[in-house]
Amino acid sequence: MDILIAGALIVLLFVVLGSGMWIGLSLLGVAVIAMELFTQRPVGDAMLLTIWGSTSSWTLTALPLFLWMGEILFRSKLSEGLFRGLAPWVNWLPGRLLHVNVIGSTIFAAVSGSSAATCATIGKISLPELKKRGYPQDISIGTLAGASTLGLLIPPSIIMIVYGVAANVSIAKLFIAGVIPGLVLASLFSGYIVIWALFNKEKIPPADAAMTFAQRIYEGRNLIPVVSLIALVLGSIYSGIATATEAAALGVGGSLLLSGIERSLTWATFKSGLYAACRVYCMIGLILAGAAFLTLAMGFIGLPRHLAEFIGGLKLSPLMLIVILIGFFIVLGCFLDGISMVVLTMSVLLPTVEKAGFDLIWFGIFIVLVVEMAQITPPVGFNLFVLQGLTKKQLMYLARVAAPFFAVMVAMVFLTYFIPNMVLWMPRNMG
């Protein structure tokens, strides 16, 4: 009976989400109905306690700070320096300037924490440049769609912070765990570009005028500000000098200082960056609050226990469990954003995952990878929305050109499964 009630509530949730209501309010509304109709617990009291508990965590303070840091950089000239600094170094590779999307996204991911911010920032710089130089539109947009998802995997990462709070694991260790997988995934993206370029040589424009080594070094000076900021933020975490929250505060201070030095920081850009970060965090906060209350309601009804028992009763091997979870999250990603996916499912899945013997740090990176896939799956792929705004292309076209990079991410998930030390070596030796 409990499982039927839970199933009906899940159907109701998707109906409400499909109506266009805000995700946070949809979650709260369904949770209120569930508590009122199917439990004896007073709704108002439970809602207040749960919302306060889910939104007052000190760890979550890092979230708005990293968002603000990304917004400051987005409005500065620092991001433009990425293209000028990277372009001279990739002309010798098959695919040439297409690799700027991957390398630029990798670098910017290490200071933004958001795949949408990475996609918007790198896209605004690289897509016009690639078009002007005659690169095919399909592969230019596709490489950006795939590579910008690195904003979630390469630390600092907003999704990692949300998962760390939900699973009660060290955010600093999650950040450390994301470094090697992030670099490996970036290498796989570049590897795909190389293979594509070798089969489509006629579509790649000729190389820019050759530069001497000294000239390339001189152009590389444009990378110094962003690389310095990365060293400040990640170095303070990995060395143990600062927590994730303190490092986020350092990042905001550093990005403000750099923007001030290059004179792109004005009162208008300061205000617009702060407003944008506040808006995004308020949206995330509402989703977290709604998801926490819905999780409580589902707990009272018994869904987590029944689901864990059901999956446990299937006697799945760890590999089959991962395959099913990949499919589950891909489907879920068609309807929910990444943060909603994490906060809605963790309380249900973690007992089963722990019982199967998976390390929760490893599982956090797995979750980030499957949420990355969701960023480029229609109809609710956030990166696809950003690309639609940049290119004015149809959603299904964008999903099609991003599909090869989706396949690369699926391969990456299995790579981390068969080589778990790729994820766990750094946390074990540096944590």
Q: Which of these ranges, 166-170, 173-177, 233-237, has the smallest mean pLDDT? A: 233-237
Q: For 373, phi and psi rounded to 5 degrees?
A: -60, -40
- Range with the poorest average pLDDT among 83-97, 126-140, 300-314, 404-418: 300-314
Neighbours of 240 (CB within 10 A): 10
End-to-end CA distance of the chain: 45
Q: With beta carbons less than 8 A apart as the criterion, state whether 181 and 362 touch.
A: no
The number of folded domains in the chain is 1
Neighbours of 205 (CB within 10 A): 12
Dihedral sign from CA coordinates of 297, 301, 304, 305: positive
336 residue type, one letter: L
> Which residues are CB-neighbours of 292 under 8 A, at least 6 positions away?
50, 51, 53, 54, 343
Give the model's pLDDT for residue 130: 84
CB 33 within 8 A of CB 12: yes
Highest-confidence segment of 4-8, 53-57, 80-84, 383-387: 383-387
- DSSP H/E element including 382: helix 382-391
Residues 292, 294, 296, CA angle at the centre, nearest 5°? 70
Query: Cβ distance 160 to 114 under 8 Å?
Result: no
Please give the share of the chain, as a percent, with pLDDT higher than 70.
Answer: 92
Instruction: Band the pLDDT of 419: cuts 50, 70, 90.
Output: very high
Structural domain harbouring 248 = 2-430
0.85 cut: is pTM over it?
no
Of 405, 388, 324, 397, the closest CA to residue 116 belongs to: 388
Distance separating alpha carbons of residues 104 and 109, to the nearest angstrom: 8
Chain segment 281-322, per-residue pLDDT in tens: 787 778 778 877 877 777 777 766 666 667 667 778 889 989
Q: Residue 404: what pLDDT?
A: 93
Mean pLDDT, the chain, integer: 82
Q: Which residue in the block uniquely carries the two structure tokens 């778990």?
A: 420
65 touches 242 (CB < 8 A): no
Burial of 82 by CB count in 10 Å (0-12 exposed, 13-18 middle, 19+ buried)? buried
Q: How far apart are CA 51 and CA 74, in angstroms?
A: 31
